[in-house]
Amino acid sequence: MENYFSPIYYTSSPFISELKDVSKSDFCFGLDSIIKLKENNIDIIKTWFDNFDHLSNSLNLYINKKSAKNVHIDTHFVWLTQALEGFHKLAIDNKKIILKERLEKLFEVTDILEMKLFDIAKIKSLVPNIVKLRNHFIHSNNEFQMGQKLAYNILAFNYLLELIYLLNLLKFLGLNDNHLQGLLTVHIKGYHLQNTKNHTAKFINDYFAMENQNPQNGA
């Protein structure tokens, strides 16, 4: 029997017979909360189905990140950067531009996070570091240096990039900034958003403390 391909949920490629358990706490937001935000929530579902095939390359990378077992965090990081790059190209701007410009555009969604999770100016300033780290893994580029806590730094980036991806995807599906603010308010104390806040805040504090000590070193 051929594997069933569903626009609701994509397992992985190549196909794996056993997925890791994924619970509600593994996600930033619940579908029930999203549906409640819009009076005509049928539009959200319709937009999802209408655009699934078009966005599938990007969506599959994100869902693989959530469902694949025993995957290293650096692979998660690469998948997330590729998912974001692909989403921007497919949903926002298909012109040939560099990854840094695509991420800067996608990071504009962080404006709604002010006073809720992060220092927004510092978050946006991390884009060049994310690009350098991605190039390090993709092109064996040794330009990137971030000290001995690299694994923890990748974990912080992964939490942040996943949130950026979801917020941009939800805006594409028809939610506005007020809807997204409402989602954050409902889920701000949830397991996933708290991890996103704590890991990213710690990374930012450590990184900018290091920058202040070594202003000539750069990223």
| pTM passes above 0.75 | yes
Q: Are 179 and 38 in contact (CB under 8 A)?
A: yes
From CA 160, how far away is CA 32, in angstroms rounded? 22
Q: Please report which confidence band the pLDDT of residue 144 belongs to, taking 50, 70 and 90 as the band edges.
A: low
Which tens digits make up the pLDDT trace of 110-119? 888 765 677 8
Residue 109 has pLDDT above 80, yes or no: yes
Q: Please name the amino acid found at residue 14.
A: P
**For the ranges 17-21, 28-32, 83-87, 89-93, which has the lowest average pLDDT?**
17-21
**For the ranges 18-22, 27-31, 123-127, 139-143, which has the lowest average pLDDT?**
18-22
Which of 200 and 98 is assigned the larger pLDDT?
A: 98
Return the closest-CA partner of residue 36 out of 161, 187, 196, 190: 187
From CA 191, how far away is CA 85, in angstroms rounded? 27
Which tens digits make up the pLDDT trace of 147-196? 556 778 899 999 999 999 999 999 999 998 988 988 888 888 888 888 98
| Residue 71 pLDDT | 85
| Residue 81 pLDDT | 97
| Residue 147 pLDDT | 54
From CA 175, how far away is CA 17, in angstroms rounded? 35
**The dihedral sign for the CA sequence 200, 201, 203, 208:** positive
**Angle, vertex CA 168, rays to CA 163 and CA 174, nearest 5:** 130
- Mean pLDDT of the region 56-83: 91
**DSSP string over 61-87:** HHHHHHH-SS--HHHHHHHHHHHHHHH
Q: Are 80 and 88 in contact (CB under 8 A)?
A: no
- Mean pLDDT highest for which of 2-16, 49-63, 103-117? 49-63
- Mean pLDDT of the region 73-91: 96
CA 164 to chain centre: 4
Which of 216 and 144 is assigned the larger pLDDT?
A: 144
